[in-house]
Amino acid sequence: MELWMIAPLAALASIVVAAYLFVYVNKQDSGTAKMREIARAIQEGANAFLKREFLYLTVFVAVVATVLTIFLPNGPIMGVAYIFGSICSGLAGYFGMIVALKANVRSANAAKEGLNKAFPIAFRGGAVMGLSVVGLALLGISVVYYLTGDPGIVLGFSFGASAWALFAKAGGGIYTKTADVGADLVGKVEMNIPEDDPRNPAVIADNVGDNVGDVAGMGADLFDSYVASIVAVMILAVGLAPGISSFDNPFVNLPLIFAGLGILASILGVAIVRVGKKGNPGKALNWGTYITCGIFIVMTLFVTLYLQQDIETWAQSSLESSLHPFQVWGALVVGLVAGVVIGITTDYFTSIDRAPAIRTAEASQTGAAINIITGFSYGLVSMFPPLLGIGIASGVAYGLAGVYGVGIAAVGMLSIVGMIVAGDAYGPIVDNAKGIAEQSGLEEEVIDIADRLDAAGNTAKAITKGFAIGAAGLTVLALLAAFQEISGATGFDLMNPLVLTGALIGIAMPPLFSALVMLGVGKNAFTMIEEIRRQFREIPGLKEGKEGVKPDYATCVDIATKGALKELILPSVLSIVVTLVVGFVGGIEALGGYLGGSIFSGLIFALLMANAGGLWDNAKKYIEAGAFGGKGSDPHKAAVVGDTVGDPFKDTAGPSLNTMITVMSLVASVFAPLIVMYALL
């Protein structure tokens, strides 16, 4: 048996464990009738969105698959791989949502019996998502690879996953912030009713948004990076030993083996995470990550030792004849360590108890404008450590094992994605749990527990975002190398005018994309606000909370759904079309520059927006905890403005950029053979 078969086996194991955890979550008590009713409303809203989104996406997938089939050399197979990638990515998101929508209410109910009862339900709910993502991703790759033996076809699978992720992330991001901003501005600010109050017509849409944006969106995002990193390395590996069948090339198989081991480590990590009655759920999540990393490093070390002889033999017959197995392993570890370090620095810049958040809170005393300037400035500073980290990691990985090493570093960073997504999906689950607890009027202590679970979710989320951006950064660099490999370009020299012009256009794309989705949020929020105001005005007894009077949740859900789907089309299509235009007009070199430029500015804005957004959020929370006048004071109002600006930054525009630059890189690689033949210049 080939050792790379560890990949599909681990993937299957992952899916089995996910199914087991799903059953576990499902059989928990879903609480009172009131709680079940709220949970059902959220579920229905989420289903409504997903249904419509899937409809749109099916059309999109069909169109792209047809284009691929007609135009590409090996068109029909690429088309099928593309569709398969979309389906796997969609399924992972769908499973994650289903379980999240069950775990939220069950976790809220279990909070009645204490933190240590509620935590595992929420975390295992998240783990279903995490393990589904890596399981379906790696299984999908393995199947395509097994059937075709051609990493070039796996690229089609990756493109399918990415294009789907772009829609899911951008659409979900616009949805969630439309609902959030609308609910907050009318509810909290104008009507002065608390967050998650059942009188607010947008409250269900807001809860739905947490799921479609943070669960399904983030899952699709990491699914996409995970697949792309593996396929990029496989393609680079083919270049290392040209003329040799992929199955016989251990460099092609290594990323699959490492990814398989990463899944096993994640399963162990998930099993280990637990928290005591008085425990700290945030710490438990972080320890889970560290332990997973440790297990992964040890496992890969043993496998590298085991494969040492093979790799050495093989290195002899490849272009990297001097490559020692431990150099590959070193690149893997460098990537993983860089991911963790980037996560930790992100944590510093966004944590509630660190200087940046505290100073931003302090600046709120001189008004909203200074709060914005201060938070924005720290956001700008915060990109230095991760960019340096990505720079050093890619440099060291290259030094160890060439461009192949850069790809392996990305795989290393992404290997523990199962665990990372588990911690991340935990966030919206407990956020929802808190909402359900409040809307169904549970006791103070229960809400308090829900609050503590939620706070841990926010920290985990900040780290995950930094991690996701770092991983996307290394992945797109590996993809750029893969693009060079496929297109046969000798390099992308900045002094070449085509590369330079391409780069100048490329750097303008991520900002354009961000702007379009944020303007989309603004436009939709406007409609949403009008609707919420209308309901408060026209439904008698709503504002007073009269018994039996209920707002019309469905209309708000519908506005968010339609608006999000409408607004995501232009930016998503643009990022594909402009890439093709640059390629077919300017040729491979212009396209390489374009990709390089978009990677640079994509990283910049992703980091800036994620970190500044998280920072503003926590500066507000710092004031709410009693500093500088506390809740309701002028500094608090100023900090709320910052938080509202940060919302679309961190939950809509910022995180979509990872996916956007991956999609652009994949489009370039998939169409490279055509561009080489037909480019204008």
Considering only residues 355, 392, 577, 625, which one is a binding residue for a copy of itself as defined by CB under 8 A? 392
Name the residue nearer to a copy of itself (CB basis): 25 or 612. 612
- In contact, 429 and 46? CB cutoff 8 Å: no
The binder of a copy of itself chosen from 19, 67, 191, 387 (CB under 8 A): 387
C-beta neighbour count of 604 within 10 angstroms = 17
With contacts defined by CB under 8 A, how many residues of the chain interact with a copy of itself? 79
Give me the least distance between CB of 654 and a copy of itself, in Å please: 12
d(CA 61, CA 299) in angstroms, rounded, equals 38
Determine the distance from the C-alpha atom of residue 190 to the mean position of all C-alpha atoms in its chain, rounded to a whole number: 33
| Residue 313 tokens, joined | 């033999």
Binding mask 581-600 for a copy of itself (x = CB under 8 A): -----------xx--xx--x
Applying CB under 8 A, among 76, 194, 294, 395 the residue interacting with a copy of itself is 395
Report how far Cα 270 is from the mean position of its chain's Cα atoms. 19
Residue 228 and residue 666 in contact, taking contact as beta carbons nearer than 8 Å: yes
Q: Residue 217 or residue 596: which is nearer to a copy of itself going by CB?
A: 596
Q: Is 493 in the site for a copy of itself (CB under 8 A)?
A: yes
Among 33, 243, 277, 495, binds a copy of itself (CB under 8 A): 495
Q: Minimal distance in Å, beta carbon 643 to a copy of itself?
A: 8
Question: Could you say whether residue 501 binds a copy of itself (CB under 8 A)?
Answer: yes
| Of the candidate residues 518, 556, 623, 663, the single one contacting a copy of itself (CB under 8 A) | 518
Residue 608 binds a copy of itself, judged by CB under 8 A:
yes
Nearest approach, Cβ of residue 209 and a copy of itself (Å): 17
**Residue 229 token pair:** 């990193």
Q: Are 335 and 409 in contact (CB under 8 A)?
A: yes
Spatial separation of the C-alpha atoms in residues 565 and 569, rounded to whole Å: 7
Is the CB of residue 645 less than 8 Å from the CB of residue 369?
no
Question: Binding of a copy of itself at residue 477 (CB under 8 A)?
Answer: yes
Binders of a copy of itself among 63-122, rule CB under 8 A?
A: none
Q: How far apart are CA 146 and CA 404, in angstroms?
A: 22
Q: Which stretches of 276-367 are DSSP H helices?
A: 281-316, 325-350, 355-363
Is 484 among the residues that bind a copy of itself (CB under 8 A)?
yes
Find out whether 415 and 296 touch, Cβ atoms under 8 Å: yes
**Residue 680 binds to a copy of itself (criterion: CB under 8 A):** no
644 binds a copy of itself (CB under 8 A): yes
Does 344 engage in binding with a copy of itself (CB under 8 A)? no
Tokens standing for residue 168 = 């899911």
The DSSP string of 224-256 is: HHHHHHHHHHHHHHHHHSTTS-GGG-HHHHHHH
Interface with a copy of itself, residue 573, by CB under 8 A: no
CB–CB of 171/524 below 8 Å? no
Residue 403 near a copy of itself by CB under 8 A: yes
- The reply to whether 271 sits near a copy of itself by the rule CB under 8 A is no
Residue from 488, 497, 630, 632 that binds a copy of itself (CB under 8 A)? 497
Joined together, the tokens standing for residue 399 give 């030094």
If binding is defined by CB under 8 A, does position 355 make contact with a copy of itself? no
Helix residue ranges, H only, 544-633:
553-624
> What is the spatial distance between Cα 245 and Cα 238, in angstroms, rounded to a whole number?
8
Residue among 16 and 494 whose Cβ is closer to a copy of itself: 494
Q: Which of 374, 464, 659, 662 binds a copy of itself (CB under 8 A)?
A: 374
Q: What angle do CA 670, 159, 68 make, to 5 degrees?
A: 55
Please tell me whether residue 9 binds a copy of itself under the rule CB under 8 A: no
- Distance, in Å, from the CA atom of 59 to the CA atom of 78, rounded to the nearest integer, reads 17
Q: Are 506 and 492 in contact (CB under 8 A)?
A: no
Distances (CA, A) of 4 to 120, 255, 593: 33, 9, 35
Nearer to a copy of itself, 294 or 391 (CB): 391
Close Cβ partners of 378 (under 8 Å, ≥ 6 residues apart): 349, 356, 359, 360, 611, 612, 615
Answer for which of 149, 511, 629, 673 binds a copy of itself (CB under 8 A) is: 511
Does position 499 interact with a copy of itself (CB under 8 A)? The reply is: yes
User: DSSP string covering 367-411, please?
Assistant: -HHHHHHHHHHHHHHHTHHHHHHHHHHHHHHHHHHHHHHHHHHHH
Stretch that binds a copy of itself, among 30-38, 94-102, 165-173, 637-645 (CB under 8 A): 637-645
**Residue 295 contacts a copy of itself per CB under 8 A:** no
Span 181-200, contacts to a copy of itself by CB under 8 A: 181, 185, 189
Direct distance between the N- and C-terminal alpha carbons of the chain, in angstroms, rounded to an integer = 49
Q: Does 571 help bind a copy of itself (rule: CB under 8 A)?
A: no
Among residues 133, 205, 372, 408, the one that binds a copy of itself under rule CB under 8 A: 372
> By CB under 8 A, which span of 146-154, 199-207, 455-463, 634-642 interacts with a copy of itself?
634-642
**Closest CB 608 distance from a copy of itself, rounded Å:** 7
Q: How far is the CB of 289 from a copy of itself (least distance, A)?
A: 25
Question: Is residue 645 a contact point for a copy of itself (CB under 8 A)?
Answer: yes
Residue 398 is a binding residue for a copy of itself (CB under 8 A): yes
Residue 120's H or E segment, with its range, is: helix 115-148
Which of residues 3 and 519 has its CB atom nearest to a copy of itself in the complex?
A: 519
348 binds a copy of itself (CB under 8 A): no
Query: Residues 519 to 538: which contact a copy of itself by CB under 8 A?
Result: 519, 521-522, 525-526, 529
Q: In the complex, what is the shortest distance from the CB of residue 498 to a copy of itself, in angstroms, rounded to a whole number?
A: 7
368-382 vs 355-363: helix crossing angle, rounded to 10: 160
Contact (CB, 8 A) for 650 and 461: no
Residues between 12 and 71 with contacts to a copy of itself, criterion CB under 8 A? none
Residue type, 367: G
For the bound state, the minimum distance from the C-beta of residue 319 to a copy of itself, rounded and expressed in Å, comes to 15
Closest separation in Å from C-beta 641 to a copy of itself: 5
Per rule CB under 8 A, is residue 481 in the interface with a copy of itself?
yes
Tell whether residue 496 is a contact of a copy of itself (CB under 8 A).
Answer: yes
DSSP 3-state of 113:
helix
